[in-house]
Amino acid sequence: MPSTEEPQSSAATKNPRRRNGSADRSNPLVSGDKGGVAGDKVFNGLALAAGVTILLVLAFVAIFLTFNSVGAVYTEEEGLNLGAFFSYAYPLLLGSLMASAIALMIATPVAVGVALYLSHYAPPKLSRTIGYVIDLLAAIPSVVYGAWGMTFLAPALVPLYDVAHEYLDFIPFFAGTPSQTGRTVLTGGIVLSVMIIAIITAVSREIFMQTPKLHEEAALALGATKWEMIRTAVFPFARAGIISGVMLGLGRALGETMAVALVLSVGPLTFSLISSGNSTIPAEIALNFPEAPPGSERQAQLIAIGLVLFLITLVVNMIARWIVSRHKEFSGAN
């Protein structure tokens, strides 16, 4: 009872005020709320400004990086000098691509397998718990992965590299003296693969779960085994999703800094996966930027390769998004 009385009394105190003006009576809530009009405008403006800020920030990222990296390719004395920058950047770029390629080759099959396990093989209750566990993989900071790769994984891989060197010497990837610390580009790629498994798994699992149940049951009703069902109903539906997940993983692997900076003992470019050497763009920046004097040509050089990395990841991510958006049109029919 008291709860109903209270609003009544407050309404009673408000009522006399409303009766005062006849204009207020026609639409008392709107016209009586003069402060609200300004509030609406301010709020709308704020929201718009925030959105524009994001666009500005991204534009500034591109502008600042470009502006600051001019010093790497152009100096007052020498003029435009693209060749020097190119010969500096391409071993780093190749190193980045090599580490990412190794990471993708390991991570993609494992991640698709784990996603399949979670969506189609594991008991549903267990699958949710394991989903959390896989999310944990993504939550662990990259520096911890780097530390683990450097102190635990690298020494454990040394005997393997020795064996690979002994028997697979004829393949250029396993030529050269094997590293005695194990801190090679292959180790770096393996650490990266562990880091991107979580991303690819998350995306693929999501898309596997969305496979139309009717397609799956139709396949099973025709006598398909579970694998045949997955091959004929799940994979065709999920192909675009898997590819975009892999692309997102590639973007992450290309931009990953700390894991590589810690695991790799950097050196000049070499195609041998088991001897020390190679470097990646992010590792190069992280290792040298704190020592580079502000405003120097060295800093400009580092910012310039940062810009190259930015553009590459931009393209990779845009392709991934494009695949997803193209897929959306088709899945509308399902």
Partner 1 sequence: MTSSTRTAERPSNPSQEPQGSRRNKLAQRPLPPWTWVVVLVASAVVAAALAALFTDFHLGFVFVTTLVLFLVTSYVVTRSRAGRRKANDELCRNLVYTAFILALIPLVSLLWSVTSVGMRGLTEPGFLTSDMMGVSGTTDAESVQEGTSVQGGIVHALVGSLMITLAAAAISVPIGLLTSIYLVEYSRGGPLARAITFFVDVMTGIPSIVAGLFGVAAMSWFLGVLNQAGLISSSRSTMGITAAIALSVLMIPIVVRTTEEMLRVVPNELREASYAMGVRKWRTITKVVLPTAISGIASGVTLALARVFGETAPILVTAGFVVNVNWNLFQGWMTALPVYIYRQFQNPINPSLSEPSYQRAWAAALVLIFVVMMLNLIARIIAKVFAPKTGGR
For the segment 133-152, give every residue that binds partner 1 (CB under 8 A): 133-137, 139-148, 150-152
Beta carbon nearer to partner 1, 42 or 84: 42
Comparison of 185 and 199: residue with beta carbon closer to partner 1: 199
CB-nearer residue toward partner 1: 166 or 172:
166
Structure tokens at 15: 């009522």
Q: Can you read off the two tokens belonging to residue 126? A: 């267990």
Residue 70 makes contact with partner 1 by CB under 8 A: no
* Per rule CB under 8 A, count of chain residues that contact partner 1: 99
List the one residue from 93, 202, 273, 316 that touches partner 1 (CB under 8 A): 316
Q: Minimum distance from CB of 328 to partner 1 (Å)?
A: 13
Are the CB atoms for 259 and 146 separated by under 8 Å?
yes
Identify the residue among 18, 226, 239, 326 touching partner 1 (CB under 8 A).
Answer: 226
Residue 277 binds partner 1, judged by CB under 8 A: no
Stretch of residues binding partner 1 (CB under 8 A), selected from 14-22, 79-87, 202-210, 294-302: 294-302
Six-digit token string for 298: 């060295």
Q: How far is the CB of 283 from partner 1 (least distance, A)?
A: 9
Q: Which is nearer to partner 1, 116 or 273 (CB)?
A: 116
Q: State phi, psi for 261 to the nearest 5 degrees.
A: -60, -35
Nearer to partner 1, 2 or 15 (CB): 15
Question: Contacts with partner 1 in 150-209 (CB under 8 A)?
Answer: 150-153, 156, 159-160, 194, 197, 201
Minimum distance of partner 1 from residue 306's CB (angstroms): 4
Nearest to 146 by CA among 258, 303, 8, 289: 258
Q: Is 23 a residue that touches partner 1 (CB under 8 A)?
A: no
CB 268 → partner 1: shortest distance, Å? 20
Nearest CB to partner 1, comparing residues 175 and 286: 286
Residue number, 67 or 83, with CB nearest to partner 1: 67
The nearest distance, CB 172 to partner 1, in angstroms, is 24
Position among 92, 237, 282, 327 found at the interface with partner 1 (CB under 8 A): 282
Q: What angle do CA 255, 257, 259 make, to 5 degrees?
A: 120
> Site mask, partner 1, residues 227-266, x = CB under 8 A?
xx-x-----------------x--x--xxxxx--xx----
The minimum distance between CB 150 and partner 1, in angstroms, equals: 7
Among 89, 102, 112, 158, binds partner 1 (CB under 8 A): 112
Q: How far is the CB of 286 from partner 1 (least distance, A)?
A: 5
By CB under 8 A, tell whether 101 contacts partner 1.
no
Q: Is 199 or 273 the residue whose CB approaches partner 1 more closely?
A: 199
Instruction: Name which of 66 and 81 has its Cβ closer to partner 1.
Output: 66
SS (H, E, C) the chain: CHHHHHHHHHHHHHHHHHHHCHHHHHCHHHHCCHHHHHHHHHHHHHHHHHHHHHHHHHHHHHHHHHHHHHHHHEECCCEECHHHHHHHHHHHHHHHHHHHHHHHHHHHHHHHHHHHHHHHHCCHHHHHHHHHHHHHHHHCCHHHHHHHHHHHHHHHHHHHHHHHHHHCCCCHHHCCCCCCCCCCHHHHHHHHHHHHHHHHHHHHHHHHHCCCHHHHHHHHHCCCCHHHHHHHHHHHHHHHHHHHHHHHHHHHHHHCCHHHHHHCCCCCCCCCCCCCCCCCHHHHHHHHHHHCCCCCHHHHHHHHHHHHHHHHHHHHHHHHHHHHHHHHHHHCCC
Tell me how far CA of residue 325 lies from CA of 3, 207, 224, 318, 322, in angstroms.
52, 14, 31, 10, 5
